[in-house]
Structure formats: structure tokens, C-alpha cells
Structure 1
Amino acid sequence: MAAKVAGCELCEHDGGRLVHHDGDWRVVRVDDAAFPAFYRVVCNRHVAEFSDLDPAERERCIVLVDAVERTLRERLQPTKINLASLGNVTPHLHWHVIARFDWDSHFPQPVWGAAQRAPDTARLAALRARLPELDRVLAERLHYA
């Protein structure tokens, strides 16, 4: 494993509520009030780009991203899943896997874009109430992924 880089947010912190850790990768749920079903698949080595990984590491990454996406689709039936690996602010390889709903405050804009409407607090609360069970199912599936 590459040494941690001082000042790198994802080297120094999990980056959210830890759902799965397998040595090379971790999956966390991001604490985002507006987007509660926001997960990250994070490389535990400090690398900046997907192409920095060897073929087996790239395959493992995609297997994890796929498992998170499939579980969110099955359990939450979102309008859309957003996948992103940006790293402009935190140049440490991580993938965002975000369940999006046509009622969310920013839809159809990206979560980092401009709000389109006020948050639907009732639907957000109902979604948050489902997260402990979702995290449990994700942890189980990722263990076998």
C-alpha cells in the first residue's frame, strides 16, 4: 500500500460512514443531508487516477461500483444512478455512486449543481430511515463481491 499523503482527505479519513473494507478498497456512505443515498468506493492506496491501478485492481474497483449501483437500484428504485470519478478537489481515486430521485432538490442537475426546488423533507426522512438496512445489505453483498 502506498504511503498516506499528508493533507489528503481520503488518506486521513474514511470519507464517510464505513460500510465495507477489504484491505485495498472501502465503501462509505457520505454524510450529505440533501443526498442521503450517496456512497463512495475509495481506493485505500493513494493513487490519483483509475489508470494508475493494475488490471486486477481496476476490475475489483468496477466490481464494487457495480455492486453498490445494483443494490441501490434494487432497494431504492431511484430515478437514476449517478456515477462519477472526478478527483479535482481530492486527487485520491474514489468513485461516487449516488441514487437520484426526480423529487430531489437538484434533479435533473448534478448534486454539485444548482438546486431546482426546495428539499422534500418528508421524502428525505423516509429515505434516511431506510439507510441502516441498506448499509447492512451492502456490507453483506460487498463481502462476497
Structure 2
Amino acid sequence: MRPEFKPPAAAVAGCPLCEAAGGAFLWTGGPWRVVRVDDASFPAYYRVVSNHHVTEFSDLLAPERQQCMDLVCAIERVLLDQLRPTKINLAAFGNMVPHLHWHVLARFDWDSHFPQPIWGAKQRDVQPAATSRLGIELAELDELVIAAVAAA
């Protein structure tokens, strides 16, 4: 049974990552949660999200920064081992949603935007659907991600 997202007591009104999980809520531990983004074009797309309204990585204490990177690396390793993607993309912008979160997503040379960023211009149509090209069910991938971040 997956945990249920509960907004933090110090949630900032109007912040989408304070008010909602930010994707399919998979795991939470201390100051972090892990979600899978629901995007059919990029199904192996996860986020590590701060459970507190923090805007900059440098606002964190050193142990929190280390734990964040451990979680990012754990997800990256699962994606590399299970999917053998062309590349893993990591990003933490915060321009649209100024709440600290890291994007971790597997990219493939066949995906609709590769080699452009997923926020860039579409390069091609993808048939069949991206989820059917992964070689693993998303539920199974999620379970592997959960196990990896729980052990991180």
C-alpha cells in the first residue's frame, strides 16, 4: 500500500508542490518525497520533491543536500539498470514552480523530443506508445524505484 500525500503544516498557499504530491506519490522519507510524473510521452519520469517549501538547493543543510542527491542517484541507477536509456536527464530549475524539486527522467533516441529537452520542440511522433517501448511495466519500475530510494 502506497503512502497518502499529506500537505506539510507549513504549506505555502498557491504552491502546487505544497498543496499536491506533484505526481503519483510513491515514497516519502524525512524531508523528501518521490513521485512519478504522469506523462505518456515520458513514462520513466520521476521527481524528488522537498516536503518543505524551500526554493534553493543552497537553503538546505548539508545532510539534506546529501540525502537529496542520494535519492536522485538511486532513481537514476534504477532507470539505467532497468531501461538502458540513451541518457538520463537531471534538472532542478524552479522557474515555473519555485519549490525545490529534481527531475530525473530516462531519455531515449526514439522519444518524441530527443535530443531536445522535454520542454523543447517535438522532433518526431512516436509509435507505438512510449510506455510499450520500455520493456517493463510502470508498476514494476515504480516498485524498484521505491526499494532503491528506501535503501538510499
TM-score, length-normalised on structure 2?
0.90
Aligned residues: 145
- Identify the residue that residue 62 of structure 2 maps to in structure 1: 55
Q: CA deviation at 1:123?
A: 4.2
Q: Which runs of 5+ in 2 are unaligned?
A: 1-7
- Identify the residue that residue 120 of structure 2 maps to in structure 1: 113
C-alpha RMSD of the superposition:
1.5
CA contact (8 A) 1:104 1:120 kept: no
Q: CA deviation at 1:127?
A: 2.7
For 1:54 and 1:29, locate their aligned partners in 2 and report how far apart those are by CA, in whole Å. Answer: 25
- Identify the residue that residue 18 of structure 2 maps to in structure 1: 11
- Identify the residue that residue 79 of structure 2 maps to in structure 1: 72
After superposition, the Cα gap between the structure-2 partners of 1:86 and 1:26, relative to the gap in structure 1 and judged at 3 Å, is: same
4+ aligned runs moved over 6 Å, structure 1 = none
- Identify the residue that residue 40 of structure 1 maps to in structure 2: 47
- Identify the residue that residue 93 of structure 1 maps to in structure 2: 100
**Is the partner of 2:147 in helix, strand or coil?**
helix
Q: CA deviation at 1:126?
A: 3.7
Select between 129-138 and 38-47 the one with higher mean Cα deviation. 129-138
**Is the partner of 1:121 in helix, strand or coil?**
coil
Q: Which runs of 5+ in 1 are unaligned?
A: none
**Is the partner of 1:14 in helix, strand or coil?**
coil
Q: Is structure 2 residue 115 aligned with structure 1 residue 124?
A: no
Q: Is structure 2 residue 142 aligned with structure 1 residue 135?
A: yes
Q: CA deviation at 1:122?
A: 4.1
After superposition, the Cα gap between the structure-2 partners of 1:30 and 1:122, relative to the gap in structure 1 and judged at 3 Å, is: closer
Which amino acid in 2 is paired with 1:29? R
Listed one character per residue, the Cα deviations across residues 71-125 of structure 1 (whole Å, up to 9, x for unaligned) are 1000110000000000000000000001000000000000000000012324432
Which amino acid in 2 is paired with 1:77? R
For 2:41 and 2:30, locate their aligned partners in 1 and report how far apart those are by CA, in whole Å. Answer: 30
Quote the sequence identity (%). 59
